[in-house]
Amino acid sequence: MSRFEEAKEMYSQLGVDVEEALNSLQKFPVSVHCWQGDDVVGFDGSDSLTGGIQTTGNYPGKASTPDELMDDIDEVLKLVPGTKKLNLHACYAIFEEGEKADRDALEPKHFKPWVDFARQRGLKLDFNPTIFSHEKAQGLTLSSEDEEIRRFWIDHCKACIRISEYFADELGGPVVMNIWIPDGLKDLPASRLAPRRRYLDSLNEIISMDYDKEKVKVALESKVFGIGMESYTVGSGEMTFGYALKNGLTPLMDNGHYHPTEVVSDKISAALLLAGELALHLTRPVRWDSDHVVLFDDETKEICKEIVRCDGLDKVYMATDWFDASINRICAWTIGLRNVQKAMLYALLEPKEMQVMQDQNEFTKILALQENLKTMPFGDVWNEYCRRNQVPNDLDWFAEAEKYEEKVLKERK
């Protein structure tokens, strides 16, 4: 018997159907953030990242053209198993020679190369307005007191909804279009209400445009604070979740955007019950919203377990969100994405029986089982998943990434 067959046998003794788990995972899309490849810079002319987020490090080999970024994404796709989507930001618009459009004037045609890229690889797309790294994003944006600035970002979001519809038409939907604003204040506000009221007005105006809600899922991402905006965040948890709930949008939770002992794993069941669906950004907070590479750690597993336990695989839109420039960027992408896949597989291999035990007050048994699960031959099932997806296993992928570094990344200036 192969190691995999043995593992399958052991899991079945716990009532777990390994084949069913592998099939479920295979169908679950994870939306790969394009912005790990170039430190969240994009191609629309900005040269520094603003908005209270930060990429640190200057590991060589950063992608600085669309072709380079596409090559790097291809390499990542080769190293990560499972079904992937590609998550683009508006600042990754690709202009023709001599052409330029400001963010409020972006059009579907500026993303045609991405649609072609995605189509050739069988990927669907997700999208994000880029409401930072821009001269009009030096203070507040969608909550700005300056009507001209607020209008500019409303128009940007509307343009992004049209582009998202185009993605859905070309490649199939739904396209998750996530609005995140960096708006906040460094020091104690005199009015917390006024910016929130303007943010609300802006959102009302954006979603009042005519668009197909089946094709485009407008999501709202919350945050607790940003660098330089430590005292107040306009798009707080209550603000975005409440607005989404009231207006039929999709709440988005980024697990780097909460207080240190507050966990997203505990919020998933409530969000699914109340909103019906939920979008996630998987990241790793280290003391603050530091966007470190996702690990195969307890909270990542717990988030995935909750998705599975809530029967949420077709109700949760999972995306990734980290940016590390201090290590090989392809590896940063790959390690995090493989860990997301691993954590999902781990969650799918939990005995469903356990939920019944809770209602029978069998807490000793649950604790014992949960601990026993940790030393089950999970790695053999994971290796089989990699094999079936024709990607290298844990022992082999790094050598492949090193080759790419030698051959491609080191050649870049």
The footprint of ligand RNT (CB under 6 A) covers 35, 40, 53, 128, 180, 221, 223, 254, 281, 289, 321
From the list Zn ion, ligand RNT, none, pick the one residue 38 interacts with, judged by a Cβ distance below 5 to 8 Å according to partner type.
none
Nearer to ligand RNT (CB atom), residue 222 or residue 339: 222
Active-site residue identified among 257, 267, 305, 342: 257
Nearer to ligand RNT (CB atom), residue 133 or residue 345: 133
From the list Zn ion, ligand RNT, none, pick the one residue 142 interacts with, judged by a Cβ distance below 5 to 8 Å according to partner type.
none
Non-local CB neighbours of 168 within 8 Å, separated by 6+ positions:
174, 175, 212, 215, 216
Is residue 199 within 8 A of residue 24, CB to CB? The reply is no
Nearer to ligand RNT (CB atom), residue 46 or residue 383: 46
Active-site residue identified among 33, 158, 223, 267: 223
- Clarify whether 134 is annotated catalytic: no
CA distance 368 to 181: 44
Is residue 262 within 8 A of residue 235, CB to CB? The reply is no
- Clarify whether 291 is annotated catalytic: yes
- Clarify whether 257 is annotated catalytic: yes
- Smallest distance from Zn ion to CB 221, Å: 6
- Smallest distance from ligand RNT to CB 328, Å: 20
- Smallest distance from ligand RNT to CB 272, Å: 21
Active-site residue identified among 180, 322, 382, 397: 180
CA distance 92 to 38: 10
From the list Zn ion, ligand RNT, none, pick the one residue 53 interacts with, judged by a Cβ distance below 5 to 8 Å according to partner type.
ligand RNT
And the tokens for 360?
């029978």
- Clarify whether 246 is annotated catalytic: no
- Clarify whether 85 is annotated catalytic: no
- Clarify whether 180 is annotated catalytic: yes
- Smallest distance from ligand RNT to CB 130, Å: 7
Nearer to ligand RNT (CB atom), residue 128 or residue 144: 128
Nearer to ligand RNT (CB atom), residue 183 or residue 289: 289
Max CA-CA distance within the chain?
70
Active-site residue identified among 254, 277, 350, 405: 254
- Clarify whether 371 is annotated catalytic: no
- Smallest distance from Zn ion to CB 101, Å: 25
- Clarify whether 221 is annotated catalytic: yes
Active-site residue identified among 38, 72, 289, 384: 289
**Crossing angle between the packed helical segments 329-348 and 298-309, to the nearest 10 degrees:** 50
Nearer to ligand RNT (CB atom), residue 23 or residue 138: 138
From the list ligand RNT, Zn ion, none, pick the one residue 306 interacts with, judged by a Cβ distance below 5 to 8 Å according to partner type.
none
Is residue 273 within 8 A of residue 311, CB to CB? The reply is no
Active-site residue identified among 38, 39, 170, 221: 221
From the list ligand RNT, Zn ion, none, pick the one residue 223 interacts with, judged by a Cβ distance below 5 to 8 Å according to partner type.
ligand RNT
- Clarify whether 72 is annotated catalytic: no
Nearer to Zn ion (CB atom), residue 127 or residue 382: 127
- Smallest distance from Zn ion to CB 126, Å: 12
- Smallest distance from Zn ion to CB 220, Å: 11
Active-site residues, by number, are: 180, 221, 223, 254, 257, 281, 289, 291, 321
